[in-house]
Structure 1
């Protein structure tokens, strides 16, 4: 088993590249359009905090959680790929991903 400090950069550098934080700025701005600046800051802090907690939880307990619910890492990767495929097809066919996400978020609220 490798030391987690050695695997941390190998895990998070591709993750940061995949997340594309700068590319998501326009997406965040369009989702928070019309919100006061204080609410935008609060939404950003909640999003970053949630992502950090979930990321760290899966870093330390990910394999245990997946084993606990009987899912292999390979199955989880395939499921993630299917989710990305569905989102991509939805975007390609409609061309309006931000509006669709806003509509779905309103349904959740």
Structure 2
């Protein structure tokens, strides 16, 4: 069982999820929600997002099989989503915009802000490359980090400032772009072989 856990896989999967969830980049949204509504349910949002991600990790592949899509095809599609998310982060543009949430409950925070389409696509894409146990550990680590950020978003904003948050977004955007290219290259070969 110990051979299943690979620190490199956990780190890489964790970095992919961290970049896609982009909780640091979401701090302005979180702060805005806190100002409008006074309270954010950090614990509940984190737990529900974690449950959504783990459940999708297990049943996402079966859902794809049910509709006749293999994991490699989904991984290639996921690489495109990661690519465009990375472009948004690097260039500071918005290619896709959701309507502003009306309440700071589970719905806008847990889904789609934390466990959104990009995160769920990434989870299924990661299955093509990494062991399930390592992805679960990466999810758990990210959920802990998400909780800490949600709980202390106002303090983080004061420490980093808007320039610091912008720099972090761009750094993770470049990392995410490189991961998208690697994911595409590795899975496109499987489709044609």
Tell me the TM-score normalized by structure 2: 0.38
Ranges in structure 1 where 5+ consecutive residues have no aligned partner: none
What is the rounded CA distance, in whole Å, between the counterparts of 1:80 and 1:18 in structure 2? Answer: 12
What's the C-alpha RMSD, in Å, of the aligned pairs?
3.6
Q: Which residue of 2 aligns with 1:39?
A: 39
Q: 1:82 Cα deviation (Å)?
A: 0.8
What is the rounded CA distance, in whole Å, between the counterparts of 2:55 and 2:3 in structure 1? Answer: 18
Q: Which residue of 2 aligns with 1:79?
A: 77
Closer, same or farther in 2 for the Cα pair 1:44/1:80, shift >3 Å?
Answer: farther
Paired residues, what number?
A: 96
2:27 maps to which of 26, 29, 40: 29
1:17 aligns with 2:11: no
Q: Which residue of 2 aligns with 1:96?
A: 92
Runs of 4+ in 1 over 6 A off after TM superposition: none
Closer, same or farther in 2 for the Cα pair 1:104/1:65, shift >3 Å?
Answer: same
Corresponding residue SS for 2:31: coil
What is the rounded CA distance, in whole Å, between the counterparts of 1:77 and 1:33 in structure 2? Answer: 33
Q: 1:107 Cα deviation (Å)?
A: 6.2
Q: 1:60 Cα deviation (Å)?
A: 2.6
Q: Which residue of 2 aligns with 1:66?
A: 64
What is the rounded CA distance, in whole Å, between the counterparts of 1:87 and 1:54 in structure 2? Answer: 20
